Amino acid sequence: MSEAVKVDHVRLYIPGPTEVRRDILEEQARWMIGHRGADFEALYASVQGKLRQLFYTNSRVLVSTSSGTGLWEGASRNCVRDDRRVLHLVNGSFSERWADVSQRNGKQVDVLDVDWGKAHKPEQLAEALQKQAYDAVAIVLNETSTGVKNPLEAMVEVIRQYPDTLILVDAVSILGGYKIDFDGLGLDVLLTSTQKAMGLPPGLAYAAVSDRALERAKQVPYRGYYFDFIELDKMGQKNNTPATPNISLLYATDKQLDYMLAEGLEARFARHERMAHMTRAWALGAGFQLFSEEGYHSPTVTTVDNVRNVDVKAMNKFLKARGMTLSDGYGKLKGRTFRIAHMGDLMPDHMQELFDALDAFLKGA
Ligand SMILES: *Cc1c(COP(=O)(O)O)cnc(C)c1O
């Protein structure tokens, strides 16, 4: 095995934070501006227009200076009344945690569980909705721990039969890599963070929010303060935010959205699908299995079932010396799986470079 070369940049194949282009990082080094002035309003308006294209909505995309977790709290608080219930669809670590967030905000939570690695199916959801009325159903579209993409379209069809039930969707590790038509599907909250498939540093979260969701929020007297959707929307209409936002990251978002729109959203989604396909083919070809259920593989992250029992730590050490890193399994799946992200600004050539290095490691392992 050749002596490891020193590298000053380790390319991230982890499902967040993801790779960020050098010039996007540098956008954050612009001079500060006041957030109560015309320059900021122009920046906000520019970002807002482009975000609406990315979220496929004509309504509004709220801007939160927090990570995605903050908007979990916001969605749970604003969309579920105290004397009603919320149904959380759980099939991995992140969906489990969102249910916990609702509970800790004093909401009455029911959980619909399926085995980790499996996707939620519309039939079970239909059954659950027949038994109990819900203010909202909370769905994690892309379970970053298991590499499963839930069948959102089919589930939306089921929930739509209950006009009082809002549809809350966490798209944190997928929005920007997969088409989610907010208006077309009739979603109520669609939230993401900057540091995953959008290919930006961490520090902001965005959520498309429907009129219905805002109407619901008005019926919740204690929505908290920082994540109050009505307050965020009210200021958003004036191209502003209630509290001081992460201005630097808004500059970076503005420019990154230019890149995304220049690539073309459809082309971008196709690139993600292609990289996902390459990754699955590599994993199977190298004698591993896929942890995610057939037919429900994520376009942005692959959770590899480590049936060869390779030492993930040693593998990552080998990669790191070559300027790359991937992710161990998440939570209870650590060691049993490892995860390869193929999202944001990673390109098919980058994926091939990773597979070549992994093959070299496995030859010596
Ligand atoms: C990363 C992740 C989160 C948490 O987002 P933060 O921005 O870290 O708060 C939530 N949901 C999913 C699916 C994720 O992948």
- pLDDT tens digits along 102-134: 999 999 999 999 999 999 999 999 999 999 999
Using one digit for the tens of pLDDT, what is the confidence trace for 32-50? 999 999 999 999 999 999 9
The closest-lying atom of ligand 1 relative to the alpha carbon of residue 16 is: 1
CA distance 21 to 63: 22
C-alpha 55 – ligand 1 centre gap (Å): 17
Looking at residue 1, its pLDDT comes to: 44
pLDDT tens per residue, range 86-103: 999 999 999 999 999 999
- The pTM (predicted TM-score) of the whole model is 0.97
Q: Are 60 and 230 in contact (CB under 8 A)?
A: no
**Cβ atoms < 10 Å from Cβ of 351:** 20
Q: Which domains does the chain have, with CATH numbers?
A: 11-20+265-364 (3.90.1150.10), 23-261 (3.40.640.10)
Q: Is 122 exposed, middle or buried (0-12, 13-18, 19+ CB in 10 A)?
A: middle
pLDDT tier at 8, thresholds 50, 70, 90 = confident
Q: Length of the chain, please?
A: 365
Q: What is the pLDDT of residues 267-292, one digit of tens each?
A: 999 999 999 999 999 999 999 999 99
Verify whether ligand 1 is closer than 6 Å to residue 94 (CB atom): yes
pLDDT at 5 over 60: no
Distance 41 CA to ligand 1 centre (A): 28
pLDDT of residue 6: 62
